[in-house]
């Protein structure tokens, strides 16, 4: 079984890399695909403008799903998260409505 830092350190590094390289304040070309954003409703790193800002990143729909936790909602909401992702894939593939 891998050490926790072998699993989580690359994820955390990529979070920081994403933040450091994101063109803050610059015009970004919106994607031409639907987006799904999953957030913790108690995340101190987000604010009241989060949906507006994510909405600027796609010319198509942006769906928001909130989990009852903070930034690391995946720790307490893993089953709900996996179910939500599976449901979204099944709907996208036309398997369920």
Q: Which two tokens stand for residue 53?
A: 């800002």
Kindly report, residue by residue over 43-83, the tens digit of the pLDDT.
998 888 899 989 999 999 999 999 999 988 988 999 999 99
Alpha carbons 45 and 43: distance in angstroms, whole number: 5
Q: Would you mind telling me the total number of residues written for the chain in this entry?
A: 97
pLDDT of residue 67: 94
Alpha carbons 51 and 37: distance in angstroms, whole number: 9
Write out the E strands in the chain: 35-40, 62-67
Alpha carbons 57 and 61: distance in angstroms, whole number: 10
Alpha carbons 72 and 52: distance in angstroms, whole number: 22
């Amino acid at each position: 079984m891998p050490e926790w830092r072998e699993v989580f350190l690359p994820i955390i590094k990529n979070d920081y890399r994403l933040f450091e390289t994101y063109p803050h304040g610059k015009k970004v070309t919106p994607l031409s695909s639907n987006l799904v954003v999953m957030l913790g409703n108690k995340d101190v790193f987000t604010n009241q403008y989060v949906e507006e800002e994510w909405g600027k990143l796609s010319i198509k729909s942006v769906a928001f799903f909130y989990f009852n936790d903070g930034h690391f909602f995946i720790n307490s909401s893993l089953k709900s998260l996996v179910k939500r992702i599976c449901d979204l894939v099944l709907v996208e593939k036309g398997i369920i409505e």
